Amino acid sequence: MKYSNQARLLLAVDCIIFGFDGSEYKLLLIQRGFAPEKEKWSLMGGFVQPDESIDEAAERILQQLTGLHDVYMEQMQAFGKIDRDPIERVVAIAYVALIDIGKYQQQINDDFHARWFPVKGLPRLIFDHQEMVEKALNKLRYKAAFHPILFELLPEKFTLPQLQAMYEGLYDTKIDKRNFTRKVLSTNLLKKEKDKDKSGSKKGAYYYSLDEDQYKENFLNIHNFIPRNEIPAGVE
C-alpha cells in the first residue's frame, strides 16, 4: 500500500565537520563526485537509503567520502527550500561534528580529495552549504557559551592558553585571561598534569586533561564560560 497522489521527494544528509588545529577553526570539505557541481567543494553529503535510518546514513556517507568513522555527530536541522537542488526536490538533514584534527587525521582518505579549510577562508560551496555552515557556527557559538562542547576539539593534553585561544577564535574576540581561567577551573572538569608545554616560553604552561567522568556527568550543566553580554548579536 502506498499514499496516492503524492509527489516524489528525496531525503539526503550533509555532514558539517569542524576541527581546531591549535590556532584556527577549520572545516572538512570534499570535491563532489557527480553532477551537478561535479568537483566543486562540498560538505559530505548523500541520499538516505530505504534500509537505513538517518543517523546510519550520516555515518555511512561520512565514512565512504572521507574514511572517518566513530565520529559523534549531532543532528542540527532540515533544509528544504524548493530550489535548493537544481535536479530534483531534495530535503537535507544537516549533522554537525567537532573533532580533534590530530586524532582523526590518519583516518582521512583521499578518494574525494577531503581537505581542511580555514573557516574564515572557505571556497565557494555548492547549493545551500554555505548557509548550513553559517547556521552551524551560529548554534555552536551559542551552545559553547554555556556547555563544554568545545573540549571535543582538543587533544588529550592541552594548556589553558590553548583552550582560551579556541574560545577566542570561535567568538572572534579577546577574553579576559584571569576571568576565563577562574571559570574554567571552577567547573572541576580538568585535571592538572605534571608536565609543561615550553614551546611558547621558558616558564611554560602546565598541561591539563579532561576528567572524563566529570565531563559526562556535567555536560548539560550551564557553566557560563562566556558572559552573555559578550555573545555576538544574532547568535541563537
**Residue 121: partners with Cβ closer than 8 Å, 6 or more residues away:** none
Residues 81 and 114 in one domain: yes
Residues 89 and 23 in one domain: yes
pLDDT tens for 124-155 read: 999 999 999 999 999 999 888 888 888 889 88
Cell of 123: 571556497
Q: Give me the mean pLDDT over the 35-40 stretch.
A: 93
Q: 174: domain range?
A: 144-230
Residue 235 lies in a domain: no
pLDDT tens for 191-230 read: 999 999 887 677 788 999 988 888 887 776 666 666 666 5
Residues 189 and 93 in one domain: no
Residues 118 and 178 in one domain: no
Total structural domains within the chain? 2
CB burial string 104-133: b at 16+ within 10 A, e below: beeebeeebebbbeebeeeeebbbbbeebb
Q: Which of 69, 97, 131 lies at the terminal end of a domain, its last residue?
A: 131
Q: Which of 131, 158, 186 lies at the terminal end of a domain, its last residue?
A: 131
Read off the CATH number of the domain in which 69 is found. 3.90.79.10
Residue 93 lies in a domain: yes
Residue 140 C-alpha from the chain's centroid: 8
pLDDT tens for 78-99 read: 999 999 999 999 999 999 999 9
